[in-house]
Chain A
Amino acid sequence: MIQISDLSKVYPDGTQALNGVTLQVRQGEQLVLLGHNGCGKSTLMKCLTGLEKPSSGKILLDQHDIHQLRGHKLRKVRQGVGCVFQQMNLVLDVSVLQNVLYGAMAKHGFWRVLNLTASRTLREQALWALEQVGLAELAARRTDMLSGGQQQRVAIARMLMQQAKIVFADEPVASLDPKAGREVMELLQRIVVEHGMTLICVLHQLDLAMQYGHRLVGMKKGKIVFDDTPDNLPAETFQELYHA
């Protein structure tokens, strides 16, 4: 489903963020990326979403080379990719329902997802997505009135509305308190499992990674240093990853 081959990224200032990363992720798999700050996790996520262009290598999403696509074809592939960001990246000046409706914008266009002009079906779908994340009663509220945890739930509802097959979550709980973080991870995992989505998630919390990842991938200096199931990875592996 996701095929990353020999991916490298060198920034204009000479920083080598990724160095020959090769990874294959099967459909329905939940992969967690681990590593300290600056090891290349976020760059890898940006390359996966097409927001950053790699210096060399290839990324295939559902057989499509995302960095070779342009215009409509690129947008079409991106429609199937949901993103959950550390800072939620919601439009704060509009309602919660409107943010969820934006999840369908790539498919339907701006005017058909505008709360004022959207069809009843789409509005009901958006409300259903909000019900899934437990925020239906806040549909009319302005997004900037919500807490961090609630905003992250809205971002997940937007991803649901998008009907994504692949989910990239870049430190989705980093700006939340431990309780809210665990709730968000619980919700994300439930939705990913229920809808048969593939998840690549960057996490800093080892306990969360062990609990929610089928597969843990460790990164250091732009390279993959381990790739295995949580049960097969001894505690020293993580100590080496973070302290060495």
Chain B
Amino acid sequence: MIEKAQHGNSDYLPPRFRSPSVTAWLLIIGFVAFFLHGIDGADVSIDRLGQGILNVGIFAAESFPPDLSRWNFIAYAMLETFQMALVGVVFGVIISVPFALLSARNTSPNRLVRWLSTNIVATLRTIPDLVWALIFVVAVGLGPLAGILAIMMDTIGFCGRFFAERIEETDPRPAQALTAAGCSRSAVIMASILPEAFPSFVATSLYSVEKAIRSAVVLGLVGAGGIGVELSAAMNLFRYDQALTIMLIILLVVISVEHLSSWIRKRLLS
């Protein structure tokens, strides 16, 4: 009796592996075929990879020692990049808040407004920052303004979504208490929802700054100002020693900002 109970009825024992459905098999086969076609299209070969490693070696050899003669121009360009990222993110974050309030289920006035706002934010997020930069270079000309506007649009797409999600996660009970006490809808949002969501807003905004600095470097390559212009020029003129100086400065700034924002986030969320 005990032995039977210890072993149980094997009829009810679930199988270790359940064969996927036909749809799942089709999806798996489709994915594998797509993946292999991708490798084939990239023309991957041992020869090419070997040559690539050799070229990187040549680049490394030619870039050492880094040329520091133009350090003041490079530092100024880096400062411009940093400012571009910061200004773009600040404006982006400010504009994201109303978008997030209109997109969140618990704060949006009605379904139509919510649908509209959510889709605007999704559209802004879908368009890559490089495409925004190309559009704004055409619209406002070369320089940091195009970069700032591109980063702003990208930040609205990013923060608008995450802010809205955080707003939806807030505890509804404080808002309910203030509503029951006769407070207006806007006052309830300001007094109970935003204070709870605020630390998360700051953490997301700091991520945006990190992301924007990396973006701002690339945006310079299409003429949207900043250190990307310097990097592009150095590479085109085969001044790899100058290019290395620029890369090292970028690395230093990006890592410093990441450490700083991580420290602020930790303090804020604890």
B-binding residues in A (CB < 8 A): 49-51, 74-83, 85, 87, 89-94, 102-103, 105-106, 109-110, 113, 155, 158, 162, 164, 168
Contact = CB atoms under 8 A, between A and B. Distances in A.
A155 B181 CA distance: 12
Nearest to A94: B195
B182 A91 contact: no
Given A90-B174, A92-B196, A93-B198, A102 B191 contact: yes
B186 interface: yes
Given A49-B180, A75-B182, 10 more contacts: A51-B176, A76-B182, A87-B173, A91-B195, A92-B196, A105-B183, A105-B191, A106-B181, A106-B187, A110-B191
Nearest to B196: A93
Main SS at interface, chain B: helix
Interface residues of B, number: 21
A109 B177 CA distance: 15
B106 interface: no
A109 B187 contact: yes
Main SS at interface, chain A: mixed
Name, among A51, A110, A168, the residue most crowded by chain B CB atoms within 10 Å (CB to CB).
Answer: A110
Interface of B: 171, 173-174, 176-184, 186-187, 190-192, 195-196, 198-199
B196 A105 contact: no
Contacts of A92: 171, 174, 196
Contact of B196 (A77, A91, A158): A91
A102 B196 contact: no
A102 B178 contact: yes
A89 B173 contact: yes
B10 to A, nearest CB: 40
Contacts of A158: 181
Given A110-B187, A110-B190, A110-B191, A81 B176 contact: no
A51 B108 CA distance: 18
A48 to B, nearest CB: 9
Q: Which 6 A-B pairs have the closest CB atoms?
A: A78-B182, A106-B182, A89-B177, A79-B182, A89-B173, A110-B187
Contacts of A105: 178, 181, 183, 187, 191
A94 B190 CA distance: 12
A77 B182 contact: yes
B196 A85 contact: no
Contacts of B171: 92
